[in-house]
Structure 1
Amino acid sequence: MSSEFIGRIREIRVLQKRIERISSSGRGAAFTIRGRRQVGKSRLVQELCDRAGLPYCFWAASKGAAPALAVEDFVAALAGSSLGENAPIPSVRTGSWPDAFAVLASLLPDTPSIVVMDELPWAAEQDRAFDGALQTAWDRMLSNKPVLLLLLGSDLHMMERLTAYDRPFYGRADTLRLLPMNPAETAAATGLDGADAVDAHLLSGGLPGILRVWPSGMTALDFLRQECDDPASPLFGVPQQTLAAEFPAPDQTRRVLEGIGSGNRTRQNIAVASGSVEGGLPSGALSPILRRLATEKKAVVEAVPLSVRPGKPAVYRIADPNLQLYLAALRGAFELVERGHADQAFRLVQRRWDAWRGRAVEPLVRESLQIAGATGDLPWDGVETVGGWWNRQFDPELDLVGADRAPVAGRVFFVGSVKWLNRPFDRHDRDALLRVAPQVPGYDPDTTGLVVASRSGLDRRIDSEGIDLVWTPEELLSAWGDRQLHGPS
């Protein structure tokens, strides 16, 4: 991956807009940035500081640090920053956060500046008074100066709670959730295009922590082969860090997550996979865990069938493709890597790669079609959501349904199939799609289109009549590709 900062143009512009706001108003603005580990929060903010050319302080909390030590470290960061240059640092009398924020206020200039507090949940979890001290300091001192206060954290639920209505800092900060790099940004970072770029995005999850070590132009499987020689590779380390930080205990939540990661999608199968020798996990215990994983941790995605009728059952998947692959195959490969069996580790993942990729790419295809629908780049006007459809027996199961709304559609615009294989979409695939498409509630043979998403396009020997859209890797990337990849220098 090039050392040049790639992507994040929307996010940089959002933050630059806040700098313009504090410059014109003379008052401060607070902004929380949350996102998973290795998604690039710190790198994004450092890039902003470098581009802005303003005095700034960048402080990161340490997990488990006592409050007094955290305060001491914060004041030391202030002293060593461009805010503290040529300025006497007042003493901290009590080693408390109110004193630390008083020191910060004394150093803030009357011109714009930036203060970054990274890994904020680690500071808050060690001191229950932290949130209140921050709110008081912001209201009484900090917000009166043109400072951009950036609060970063990897625990999504904790960061959401920081600005919740029942917390002291409620209503005082705007919020940005930083997602992984999109497929077009991954393509730019890896120097790949087409199907190879999509493979790279699936393997890396779009996480800069992995992409930063990706040699330009190297395909996904070649990169995997290379990394199997390195037990310290971020390909293994990044998902391990995510699990250790967010799911440290081998409890029921961790077992449910692993059960989903191993390929179980329905409640029944997840309950069996995450149960004990006494039997599957009871529904009363499983439901709150799934809800927490989906709504609080946002580690799992829940989906229901999309059509003009309410549908069941719900299915679940791991939100992050890299973590999904780790739970499905990379974890077993890592155990071999640690024992020095790099070739065996690579072959283990390689054997599962095609089947895993075929399932993992489906959400990416749906999202790209949904983006294209929102921008008017599909043959149908009004496509606002794209999902899948299945009956209770999962026979049949349609990969693509484009509609006007979810979870119950008013109109189905298209249905389709995803065949992300090393061969073209052939006659057998087409006939299967034509046979099952009419079973989707809301399908109209006169108005509902057929979409094929294929890694290798259409087989030249089949008649494409009746197929309204062929969605290839190039089309998938182009859904994001109109966005400018490189920001202003």
Structure 2
Amino acid sequence: MAFVNRQEELRLLDEMAQEPGAQLVMVYGRRRVGKTTLLLHWAEQTGLPLFYWVAKRDPREILMANMARAIYSWQHDSDVAINIQVQDWEQLFQMLAQAVGDRRVIVILDELPYALQQDRGLGSHLQAAWDHLFKDSQVLLFLSGSHIGMLTDLTQYQAPLYGRLTAQFPLFPLKFSDVVAFLPQYDVYQRLAVYAMLGGIPAYLERWRDRQTIKANVEHLFLKRTGWFQNEALVLISDLSERETTNYESILKAIAAGYHTREDIAANAAIQSTALSHYLPPLEALHMIERRIPATVPLEQLKTSRRSRYFLRDPFLRFYYRFIDPNLHLIEGGLPNRLWQMIDDNFRAFVALEFEDRCREWVVWQAQHNNLPFAPDNVGSHWSKEVQIDVVAINWQEKQLLVGECKWGDSPLSRQVVTDLVSTKTPKLLHHLEGNAESWQVHYAFFTRHSFTDAAQHEASNHGAILRTLSQIDSELSQ
């Protein structure tokens, strides 16, 4: 897998390595996000000795035998295959500790949940090994995996590793600005379309051929019975729980179908509303879904607000459950052309949602670089029965507000869009805020795919509005 960007993650890993003494770090993230690639790339850069072992879906005895051979080969710098008899994990960790000695060594135990599936007692052996063999050493011990359920079982209250981790390291998908490294032949509009379908998952982006059209790639990867993505969604869900995949998938399908409140999701997924508290947090932890609250909800009400809605955050799952899963019968029935037509008819509106996300990302980026008229407390959107606004940033103490409109059409953004936001939508939003409307200072921003009409630019300048096209957003986010 190609290594792209990850400069912030490399910096954090360097900081961990510079901490004195042993480090026990859990690295987790959804499958194919690049955990192994990142750790191995970083380990090579450090120049420190590295022991790497990856668990497979093998029985306990085979797993232990494979790890014993790996330790022996690493310790003796030998590729000679030998048969070492080990009785238990305790003996294995003693072998590893002896091989590490008092050196500063990186140890990566990858796909650890596979081993935990075969032996639930492994967590207790890890605890004992850390307490008695590694805690007072110089080892940098990384536990990595995609199965969030099993990794959580290791670290929750009264679990074997509770209170022992020196750091938890979630790895998230690459940003939109990183996609150009995978798709150099595509323009920014095509890259956004691909990002709307695949997100920032390196393993997915590597399979996309930017010398072919978007249609050709979708047909090859999604619309064939043997397409690479046919079973990917279920593979991802199985990393949450192997026993409850049906419930998790029902929740994802409900959200993709347009049900966003807890009550509507529960009803559509045929799950008790109270039971959602069991299923939603793991989906959020792996960035499969996200809980959104209007940015205009006061800070002290964010955690308890009943105005929250849930959305699919993972672009691949959003695309798969929006278009592919409901229409698998067309693929099975040999009618992929009909499915492509359905995708094509709705694709502009689908990509428009991703464009809105990137506009909000741009606002956050500008805030981080102190380029906005004020420092916002929150960035998001606003919705109510009266009005919906794509982009909102707010500072409650200073009573400052930025509101933005996003347009993904082929036509230039018109003057009517500017006047509608200023004269119609914003007054309705201000009605929801604390204090009278006159006490708030409002700033405006307009985002478009291509360009603005002359009349729109003139009207926007009258209000001191920010104007940005997708190309400008991409250029600034890439800095």
Is TM > 0.5 for Structure 1 vs Structure 2?
yes
For the structure 1 residues 179 and 251, does the alpha-carbon distance in structure 2 shift closer, same or farther, using more than 3 Å as the test?
Answer: same
Query: Distance in 1 between the 2:168 and 2:190 partners?
Result: 34
* 2:423 aligned with 1:430: no
Report the residue type matching 1:404 in the other structure: N
Match of 2:387 among 385, 389, 396: 396
User: SS of the counterpart of 1:355?
Assistant: helix
Match of 2:474 among 472, 477, 481: 477
Deviation at 1:131, TM superposition (A): 1.9
**1:79-117 C-alpha deviation (Å, 9 max, x unpaired):** 34x3441599895442x1111101111212543332211
TM-score by length of 2: 0.85
For the structure 1 residues 304 and 112, does the alpha-carbon distance in structure 2 shift closer, same or farther, using more than 3 Å as the test?
Answer: same
Query: Distance in 1 between the 2:467 and 2:214 partners?
Result: 24
Report the residue type matching 2:192 in the other structure: V
1:75 match: 68
* 2:105 aligned with 1:113: yes
* 2:139 aligned with 1:147: yes
Deviation at 1:389, TM superposition (A): 1.2
8 Å CA contact 2:403, 2:426 repeated in 1: yes
Deviation at 1:180, TM superposition (A): 0.2
Match of 1:35 among 5, 29, 39: 29
Q: How does 1:165-176 map to 2 (within 5 A)?
A: 165-169=157-161, 170-176=163-169
Deviation at 1:236, TM superposition (A): 4.2
Report the residue type matching 1:325 in the other structure: F
Query: Distance in 1 between the 2:252 and 2:142 partners?
Result: 31
Q: How does 1:410-489 map to 2 (within 5 A)?
A: 411-434=399-422, 435-440=424-429, 441-442=432-433, 444=438, 447-462=441-456, 463-464=459-460, 465-466=462-463, 468-482=465-479
User: SS of the counterpart of 1:416?
Assistant: strand
Q: How does 1:330-345 map to 2 (within 5 A)?
A: 330-332=324-326, 336-337=330-331, 340-345=334-339
8 Å CA contact 1:33, 1:177 repeated in 2: yes
RMSD over aligned CA atoms reads: 3.1
* 2:83 aligned with 1:99: no
Query: Distance in 1 between the 2:449 and 2:103 partners?
Result: 53
User: SS of the counterpart of 1:458?
Assistant: coil
8 Å CA contact 2:237, 2:248 repeated in 1: no
8 Å CA contact 1:362, 1:418 repeated in 2: yes
1:224 match: 218
1:319 match: 313
Query: Distance in 1 between the 2:367 and 2:131 partners?
Result: 44
1:485 match: none
8 Å CA contact 1:329, 1:349 repeated in 2: yes
Report the residue type matching 1:7 in the other structure: N
User: SS of the counterpart of 1:383?
Assistant: coil
Deviates more, 1:132-141 or 1:292-301: 292-301
Query: Distance in 2 between the 1:33 and 1:364 partners?
Result: 27
Query: Distance in 2 between the 1:251 and 1:228 partners?
Result: 22
Deviation at 1:330, TM superposition (A): 2.6
2:252 match: 257
Query: Distance in 2 between the 1:49 and 1:217 partners?
Result: 34
Report the residue type matching 2:77 in the other structure: E
User: SS of the counterpart of 2:182?
Assistant: helix
Stretches of structure 1 that go unaligned for 5 or more consecutive residues are 276-280, 483-489
1:205 match: 199
Deviation at 1:217, TM superposition (A): 6.0
User: SS of the counterpart of 1:423?
Assistant: coil
8 Å CA contact 1:90, 1:103 repeated in 2: no
**1:132-157 C-alpha deviation (Å, 9 max, x unpaired):** 21122123223444332111111234
For the structure 1 residues 384 and 243, does the alpha-carbon distance in structure 2 shift closer, same or farther, using more than 3 Å as the test?
Answer: same
User: SS of the counterpart of 2:410?
Assistant: coil
Higher relative contact order (CA 8 A, sep 6+): 1
Deviation at 1:184, TM superposition (A): 1.1
Report the residue type matching 2:6 in the other structure: R
8 Å CA contact 2:288, 2:313 repeated in 1: yes
2:293 match: 304
Deviation at 1:56, TM superposition (A): 2.2
**1:272-300 C-alpha deviation (Å, 9 max, x unpaired):** 4323xxxxx55444x42564455555532
1:190 match: 183
User: SS of the counterpart of 1:190?
Assistant: coil
Deviation at 1:414, TM superposition (A): 0.8
Query: Distance in 2 between the 1:238 and 1:476 partners?
Result: 31
2:209 match: 215
TM-score by length of 1: 0.83
Report the residue type matching 2:249 in the other structure: R
Report the residue type matching 1:323 in the other structure: L
Report the residue type matching 1:190 in the other structure: L
For the structure 1 residues 419 and 332, does the alpha-carbon distance in structure 2 shift closer, same or farther, using more than 3 Å as the test?
Answer: same
User: SS of the counterpart of 1:122?
Assistant: helix
Query: Distance in 1 between the 2:421 and 2:394 partners?
Result: 18
8 Å CA contact 1:333, 1:348 repeated in 2: no
8 Å CA contact 1:184, 1:477 repeated in 2: yes
Query: Distance in 2 between the 1:33 and 1:479 partners?
Result: 30
Query: Distance in 1 between the 2:46 and 2:213 partners?
Result: 36
Number of residue pairs matched by the alignment? 461
Deviation at 1:181, TM superposition (A): 0.4
Tell me the percent identity: 22
Deviation at 1:183, TM superposition (A): 1.0
Match of 1:365 among 359, 362, 365: 359
Query: Distance in 2 between the 1:290 and 1:183 partners?
Result: 28
8 Å CA contact 1:228, 1:343 repeated in 2: no
Report the residue type matching 2:413 in the other structure: F
8 Å CA contact 1:196, 1:219 repeated in 2: no
For the structure 1 residues 102 and 338, does the alpha-carbon distance in structure 2 shift closer, same or farther, using more than 3 Å as the test?
Answer: farther
Query: Distance in 2 between the 1:437 and 1:481 partners?
Result: 31
**1:294-334 C-alpha deviation (Å, 9 max, x unpaired):** 55555321112222656653211012011111110133465
For the structure 1 residues 120 and 479, does the alpha-carbon distance in structure 2 shift closer, same or farther, using more than 3 Å as the test?
Answer: farther
Query: Distance in 2 between the 1:8 and 1:250 partners?
Result: 31
Deviation at 1:252, TM superposition (A): 3.5
8 Å CA contact 1:30, 1:173 repeated in 2: yes
Deviates more, 1:180-189 or 1:168-177: 168-177
8 Å CA contact 1:417, 1:451 repeated in 2: yes
User: SS of the counterpart of 2:190?
Assistant: helix
